[in-house]
Amino acid sequence: MSAARGKRLPLLAVLVLAGLLIACGKPRNVVQLLADPDGHVGVVRVHTAMGEAELHQAGCAVRVADANSAPTAPEDLTEAESDALFGMAKRALPARPVKFMLYFENEGTRLTPESLALLPKVLETARERASKDISVVGHASRQGDEGLNIALSRRRAEYVAVQLEKAGIDRADLDITSHGSANPLVVSRRMNEPKNRRVEITVR
């Protein structure tokens, strides 16, 4: 039996169980498709010498007795069935990253009041996870010279990093980068799009 992916197979999105269902009289191999952390669902094709089945909906599963048997038709596993089969594997998966967007006032490193109020939540999340992997990525709008935008996006990332350090986050746990006006959050005719004046923080 082999599971082949379609255009995209989410990381750790396929759970395979073998050898635990014989006593139940059901085929002993089970393949279930899960969604990505962002909700995207890929496509998985399960092949044997006798046939093929395709999974393209989150939660669907097929069963296979052995390499000389065709996969069963896809079926939806209830949450209870999935947990009974794969609960331990799911609980062993790492926690999903948490992302925060901090926005800035025009032409500087002053956070908007709403973003300044969000900093305690960033710190709380980092502490709860005892995170050693926090990315801080600075961005700027398209207004002005790109060389200045690159420098500004770096200053914004450094500013946020300093605030995290002051609150007790080890700088060694921070991955600080900047993109200037590249990778805009919003593609807009406005050169000074407010949502592109930002720092993105990802706590893993």
CATH at 135: 3.30.1330.60
Output the pLDDT for position 143. 94
Output the pLDDT for position 28. 66
- Radius of gyration in angstroms for the set of CA atoms belonging to the chain, rounded to a whole number: 23
Q: What is the domain extent for residue 78?
A: 2-92
83 and 127 housed in the same domain: no
* Pairing of the two strands 29-33 and 44-48: unpaired
* Pairing of the two strands 29-33 and 2-5: unpaired
Given a cut of 50, the residues of the chain with pLDDT beneath it are 5-12, 18-23
12 and 62 housed in the same domain: yes
d(Cα 33, Cα 127) in Å, to the nearest integer?
Answer: 32
**pTM exceeds 0.85, yes or no:** no
22-55 pLDDT per residue, tens: 345 566 689 999 887 667 888 989 988 899 999 9
58 and 108 housed in the same domain: no
**Tokens found for residue 141:** 């709008």
85 and 129 housed in the same domain: no
111 and 190 housed in the same domain: yes
d(Cα 188, Cα 128) in Å, to the nearest integer?
Answer: 37
Domains held by the chain: number: 2
**Tokens found for residue 178:** 């900047």
106 and 51 housed in the same domain: no
62 near 55, Cβ under 8 Å?
yes
161 CB-near residues (< 8 Å, 6+ apart): 136, 171, 174, 176
Output the pLDDT for position 14. 60
From 92, 109, 127, the end of a domain falls on 92
Name the amino acid, one letter, at 106.
Answer: N
165-187 pLDDT per residue, tens: 999 999 999 999 999 999 999 99
70 and 119 housed in the same domain: no
From 71, 92, 113, the end of a domain falls on 92
88 and 133 housed in the same domain: no
